[in-house]
Structure formats: C-alpha cells, structure tokens
Amino acid sequence: MTTRPGPRERLLDAARELTYSQGVQVGVDAILKQADVARRSLYQHFGGKDGLVAEVLRSDGGLDRYRQVMDEAGDDPRERVLAVFDELDAITSQPSFRGCRYTAAELTLTDPGHPAHAEVRAFKEGLHRLMAAELTRHGHPAPDAGADQLLVLIDGVLAHAVTRPGARPALAARALAEAVFASRA
Amino acid sequence: MTTRPGPRERLLDAARELTYSQGVQVGVDAILKQADVARRSLYQHFGGKDGLVAEVLRSDGGLDRYRQVMDEAGDDPRERVLAVFDELDAITSQPSFRGCRYTAAELTLTDPGHPAHAEVRAFKEGLHRLMAAELTRHGHPAPDAGADQLLVLIDGVLAHAVTRPGARPALAARALAEAVFASRA
DNA sequence: AGATAGATAGAACGATCGGTATATGCCGCC
DNA sequence: GGCGGCATATACCGATCGTTCTATCTATCT
C-alpha cells in the first residue's frame, strides 16, 4: 500500500481541484474537509488561504504541460506550436473544462496585493518566452511580437471556450496561429 | 437642477461600477451605500443580488458600443472591424481597465444556474452576429468561422491585457484580424 | 381628504467567512 | 525515557454575507 501524502500535498491537491471547480472563492472549510487535514496545518504551511492559492498556481506546472505537448510534436517549431492548439481543442472540449485557472484568478481576485497575481504574471511571462523561443528557431522576423499574438490566441481560446459552449475556438485560433508562422520579414 | 434618477437606476449604476472595480463579489451593503438606496428597494426591483448582477450585464449596452465604434469607422467592413481593435487598444490601455465584465462574470460565478450566465451567452451571441454580418458584407468565404476567429481575438485581447500589463495585445490582435479579412474562398 | 404604492431607515436573521486558540495524540531523535 | 515538533480535533472569534422584517414617510391619484 502506498503511503499517504503529507498534509501539505493533500492541501495543495484539494485546493487545486476545488479552486478550479468551485472558483477561488471556495471556503477554507471545504478545502480542509476534502484534504482531510487539520485547520491549523493550512496556516502552518501556507500562512493562510491567500498563500495556499498562490502556491497552487506556482506549483501547477502549467508550463511543463505546454513543453510536454510541444516535445511530443517533434522538432519543427511550427508543428510544435500548432500541436498546442490541438491540445487546447481537446482540453476545452472536456465537460469539466472551466476556463484558464490563471485568468480566472486574475479576474476574480480584485485586491492588487494578492500574492496570486505575481504567480499569474510569472506564468504568462514564461509562456511568452516559450513561444518566442519557438518563433526564433523558426526564423520569425519578430519573435517577441509573434509570441504576443500567440498568447492572445491562447488566452482567447481559453476565455472564449467558457462563454460559448459548443464552439471550437481552438480550431479557429489554430488557423490564425498558422498565419503567425507565415509572417515574413 | 436635474432630477435625481430613481432608485432602480441608481442601483444599476452603482452595481455596474462596483461589480467592475471590485468584482461581482462586492457586498450588497457597498452597492446600497453608493446608490444611496434603501435595502428593500433592491429586493423589490431585482429580487436579489443575483438579479441585479444579471440586469447589470443585460442593460450594459456593450453591443451598442461596438456598433457605435464601427459606425464611426465608415462603411468598409474591414475598416469597421479594425477600428474595433483600435478601440480595444485604447480601452485596455486605460489604468482603470480591469478586464471584460462578461468574461469575469462567467469565470467568477461558479454556479451554473446563476442568471448572469444567460446574459453573457446572449452578449457573445450578439457579438458573433455583429462580426459575422461584417464578414458577410466583405464577401468572406466563411463568415461564421471568421467571426469565431474575431471573437477569439477580442476575448484574447481583453483577457491578456489584464495578465500582462504593458503589453499591447490589441495591436498584436489587429494584425491577425487583418489576416481574417485576407481569407479567400 | 383619503387611499395606495413606493421609498426610506434600521434592526435582526441565520449562515458562512478567514483566522486564532486550546488541548490532545503521535512520532522520531537525542 | 523524556522531549520537541508536527498533526489532529474542536471550540471560538469578529466580521461579513445575502436576506427578511417592521415601521415610518412621501408622493401621486381619485
């Protein structure tokens, strides 16, 4: 029998799931109950709900998932990036899809001092670097501006998929992503 | 001296402002205070907070603003749509910009039964029709799919502008919108 | 004038929020 | 063997949540 993860891991797992399905406004009690963890442990490990929420975003490994999808698509930068949109189409088609966790956090948490905002920023910066690197390898004339376009497409897909169920925004975006790669100096 | 608007209007105005700047999770008390309206009036006119929030979205007139921006841009569909992205650049550059109110409502309100969701859907549907009409007039081979692309771009701009301050996602999206209009049958 | 409808003020409701305090149990380590 | 650190369980805190209620006031219409 596998040993049960410690309270810290259980808290992160429970919070990751509940803040996604119920939103960040989910109560601390619900997280504690699902994690089967004492109230005090939360404050011991994360200082409070804000710290827990921020750590959920920080440790989410979203960038790794993007990297993995691209690596499985081979070497060609164009194919690697287009694979991202294929994956987005699969993700946004799942009934459990509830939008991008980072965008949701950014829009829901009004307090500009909330520690989650820094994590969101860090994630988006990393994603931008990821995309810019692919465009650079592809010989894009302006990798930075091109990455901006790809990020807009990704954010657009994730946002649009929530508000218009049934549409397949990732497919629409994929065609535009091809246009980004068609840019010539 | 102009006569003061009635309680219903004052409630809508206050709610529109506060739910945007503070998020929909703003308290009823704050709305009542800013509207300078009796507690009971809220429940008399809107049945509750949920009804008020939904009515704020419904009466927001977002579609009219899009129409107005396009009308000011003249007759050519391409110019009219590109003007939308110029306007988005202006909007997202304002320091008071806090994201798209509809997307925020959709992501924040987890309860699928919340009346606001229907308003969000209606808005996005209307926007889709608006864009598809322009593409049809332009002779686009697939106005519906093209409108999907434009909506992804718009949602992407509004979402991305919140998470990466300083970037000008509307300019990046504008170039891609041009690509949408370059589509040939 | 009297009646009616709408608005006001304010108390109070039960529920839930995030966070703290107290007290006990379990474990490895010196 | 006792000690320290972590986890547990639970009670409790003040604050705030959305909502309901009573009671008073005011404007309009007949």
What ipTM, to 2 d.p.?
0.93
* pLDDT-based confidence at residue A183 (cuts at 50, 70, 90): confident
Question: What are A24-43's pLDDT values in tens digits?
Answer: 999 999 999 999 999 999 99
Q: Under an 8 A CB cutoff, do B172 and A148 touch?
A: yes
Chain B interface, mutation test: which of A98, A100, A107, A162, most B Cβ atoms within 10 Å?
A107
Q: Which residues of B touch A102 (CB under 8 A)?
A: 163
Distance from CA of A11 to the nearest CA of B (A): 21
- How does residue B166 score in pLDDT terms, banded at 50, 70 and 90? confident
Nearest protein residue to nucleotide D19, judged by CA and C1' positions: B48
- The fold adopted by the segment(s) B62-181 is Tetracycline Repressor; domain 2 (1.10.357)
Q: Scanning the structure block, which residue is given the tokens 């927001």?
A: B60
Q: How far is A152 from chain B (nearest CA, A)?
A: 5
Query: Using 50, 70 and 90 to split pLDDT, how confident is the model at A137?
Result: very high
Q: Is the CB of A40 under 7 A from strand C?
A: yes
pLDDT at A2: 62
A77 vs A123, A135, A139, CA distance in Å?
Answer: 21, 7, 10
Query: In chain A, which residues have their Cβ closer than 8 Å to the Cβ of B149?
Result: 172-173, 175-176
Tokens of A103: 């965008």
Domain with CATH 1.10.357.10 in chain A: 62-181
CATH 1.10.10.60 residue ranges of chain A are 7-58
Is pLDDT of B3 > 80?
Answer: no
Say what the pLDDT of residue B147 is.
98
Question: Can you tell me the distance from the alpha carbon of B51 to that of A144, in angstroms, rounded to the nearest whole number?
Answer: 44
- Partner A contacted by B13 (CB < 8 A): no
Amino acid, single-letter form, for residue B158: L
Which residues in chain A have Cβ-Cβ distances shorter than 8 Å to B176?
A: 149, 152-153, 176, 179-180
Proximity of residue A128 CB to strand C below 7 A: no
Which residues sit close to strand D, CB under 7 Å?
A 6-8, 36-41, 44-45; B 25-30, 39-40, 43, 48-50
Type of residue at B107? L
Whether B122 and chain A come into contact, CB under 8 Å, resolves to no
Q: Is the CB of B49 under 7 A from strand C?
A: no
How close does chain A come to B142, measured CA to CA in Å? 11
Q: What is the overall mean pLDDT for chain A?
A: 95
Specify the amino acid at residue A135. L
Between CA B40 and C1' C1 the distance (Å) reads: 29
Read off the pLDDT of residues A45-91 as tens digits, 9 standing for 90 and up.
999 999 999 999 999 999 999 999 999 999 999 999 999 999 999 99
Cα-based distances in Å from B171 to B85, B88, B89, B113, B167 = 7, 9, 7, 36, 9
Distance B141 CA to D4 C1' (A): 75
List the structure tokens of B7.
């309680």
Class of domain A7-58 (CATH, top level)? mainly alpha
Query: How many beta-carbon contacts under 8 Å exist across A and B?
Result: 141
Nearest to B164 by CA among A127, A19, A47: A127
Q: Please state, in angstroms and rounded to a whole number, the distance separating the CA atoms of residues B24 and A110.
A: 10
DSSP annotation string for chain B: -PPPPPHHHHHHHHHHHHHHHT-TT--HHHHHHHHT--HHHHHHHHSSHHHHHHHHHHTS-HHHHHHHHHHTT-S-HHHHHHHHHHHHHHHHHSTT----HHHHHHHH---TT-THHHHHHHHHHHHHHHHHHHHHHHT-S-HHHHHHHHHHHHHHHHHHHHHSTT--HHHHHHHHHHHHHT---
Say whether A152 and B163 touch across the interface (CB within 8 A).
no
Residue A185 pLDDT: 53
Find the Å distance, CA of residue A27 to C1' of nucleotide C12.
25
